[in-house]
Amino acid sequence: MNVITFDKHPLLEILKSVSSGEAQLPDFQRGWIWDDQHIRDLLASISQSFPIGTVMTLTTGGDGANFKPRPVEGTDESTEQKTPDTLILDGQQRLTSLFQSLRAGRPVKTKNSRGQETSRWYYFDMEKCLDERFDREEAVISVPENRISKNFRNEILLDLSSDKQEYEHGMFPAHKIFNSADWRRGYNKYHEYTEEKAKLFDTFEANIIKKVEQYNVPVIILGKDTPKEAVCKVFEKVNTGGVTLTVFELLTASFAGEDFQLRDDWQGRHERLKDEHPVLESVENTEFLQAVTLLATNSNSDSAVSCRRRDILRLTVSEYQSWADQVETGFIQAARFLHGQKIFNASDLPYQTQLTGLAAIFADLGSQGDTEGVHQKLTRWYWCGVFGEIYGGPTETQLVRDFSEVAGWVRGGGEEPSTIRDANFQANRLLTLRTRNSAAYKGIHALLMRDGSRDFRKGLAMEYQIFFDDRIDIHHIFPKAWCEKIGIPRNIFNSIINKTPLAAHTNGMIGKKAPSAYLPSLERDAGIDSSKMDEILTSHCISADALRTDDFSGFYEARANALLDRIEAAMGKAVGGEDEEGMFEVEIPYPEE
């Protein structure tokens, strides 16, 4: 049974367990990051018995969360061989700072106010600690590793490089606070046992040292059988570092407890995927885990198909190993499918999240996914997802729905997926597609290439090699400068209706010229006649007559309707609002000559 207890533990007891390795960190914890000022403020707080917050720990050895441990920074190397009794979930920064400054006996590796790495020793100025005119923060100081502070002119401000210098300046070293007897004897001997100095130390001991020695820290202890997902959720809710951990980092720590290095495994797979297929370059480790979880839960008759965070965290090493190769193959099949849709680059991918579902579907279908009939169905489903902008909101439920519905549908045993049924593209959406932020914008760019658009100058279809060699990208048909000169509104000429895929060199030749000027120039350069150029323009859904006469209004309306026809064909269903009169009419206030 999971048990949560609350108690107060002596600070010294906690720091001893850190030193021995009995208390360590779960491997998913990020590194220690507190700077010099934070450490001095913390020491000032405990020296006044001020609260420093609650620490949360997890008892190890249960069947619940099994995370790989790592020692607190600054402990001896021998602690790495120790099996901890406790993992520190919340309080890493505070306990590491206190251990290094009060217990380790070595300079603390931290950062200064400029973020530069430095090593510091910490001291209590005994007189200032006992003088109410000074804030306690002023009485806690730090000095460099050589214990000599200098100003910018390299003049010595404070020299504590020997015990005698510490005694002379009345600077009590923080790392002696739990074992102060030797330092007190040396201090009294140095000052020849004068009553004034002895009284100063006695008062400091009673008011500072004893408070630290007796300081108690409130600790919430999670029982050893606390489930993994509960530990991760609690950690994220209470962690004072303010940095949310990804499910991949949490699962990496869990798998490491079973001697499986998830991070190394993923890095190898990611390198293979992105090196062979640029469209897979942005696949995230969490997306890969989502696909694995879809297949793992689908194979388990006792659980529902899912890829939620909690279900990813429930993955076992054996489940991951069983499905990871199949999922990697699924991503490769998905990349090849996308190449067929003329999506070659990760930056041109309409929805990164839809790729995860596509890869999981291919992984589930296996060799069945290679047939032409399956590809036809997947193509329709894919474009309905893009132009229906289905993946624009929360994706976990959508991924599960598509994974569950599409595989059955393409095998011939299921109904048409809800993505196809629900997809709806409104004609006026074309007017708002102006940047790559929109999936539909990227979709039209790819669809034009897929359906045979050819470069204005070379006349070549935009296949994989040409796409990269000629730096194909989406460019204005009526150039931006020309449109601004004529007075066409920016929201009109920047629409996808006035853009098309072209090679970088071709776009450079177009420049700022009107179509009536750049088309003859391109024809001469390409060595083709007007009829051949008209064929190329038609492959882009462009009215050659309107373009040659610089008729932006005629071009705009005709192209919008032609693009809608392409979208309807890709989705296999009618576009909404297509018959609204005057939707694509453009009135151009031609400036007077």
| pLDDT over 90 (residue 174) | yes
Q: Report pLDDT digits (tens) over 446-469.
A: 999 999 999 898 888 888 888 888
Position 260 pLDDT exceeds 90: no
Torsion of CA 404, 407, 408, 410, to 10 degrees: 150
Q: What is the pTM of this model?
A: 0.70
Query: Cα–Cα distance between 568 and 512 in angstroms, integer?
Result: 33
Task: Give 399-419 pLDDT, tens digit per residue.
Answer: 999 999 998 899 887 789 999
Determine the average pLDDT of the residues in 27-37: 76
Question: Can you read off the two tokens belonging to residue 202?
Answer: 């006695």
* 27, amino acid identity: D
State the Cα torsion 237-238-241-246 to the nearest 10°.
Answer: -30
Task: Place 237 in a pLDDT band, splitting at 50, 70 and 90.
Answer: low
The residue ranking higher by pLDDT, 374 or 152, is 374
Q: What is the pLDDT of residues 469-486, one digit of tens each?
A: 889 899 999 999 999 999
Per DSSP, the three-state class of 309 is helix
pLDDT of residue 80: 83
Q: What percent of the chain has pLDDT over 90?
A: 65
What value does the mean pLDDT of the chain take? 89
Chain segment 177-206, per-residue pLDDT in tens? 999 999 999 999 999 999 999 999 999 999
pLDDT higher than threshold 60 for residue 252: yes
On the question of pLDDT at 242 being above 50, the answer is no
- Ordered by start, the domain boundaries in the chain are 1-144+174-245, 268-423, 429-571
- pLDDT at 2 exceeding the cut of 70: no
Q: What is the model's pLDDT at position 62?
A: 72
Handedness of CA 524, 525, 531, 537 (dihedral sign): negative
3-state secondary structure of 577: coil
Helices 515-526, 530-539: crossing angle, 10 deg rounding = 110
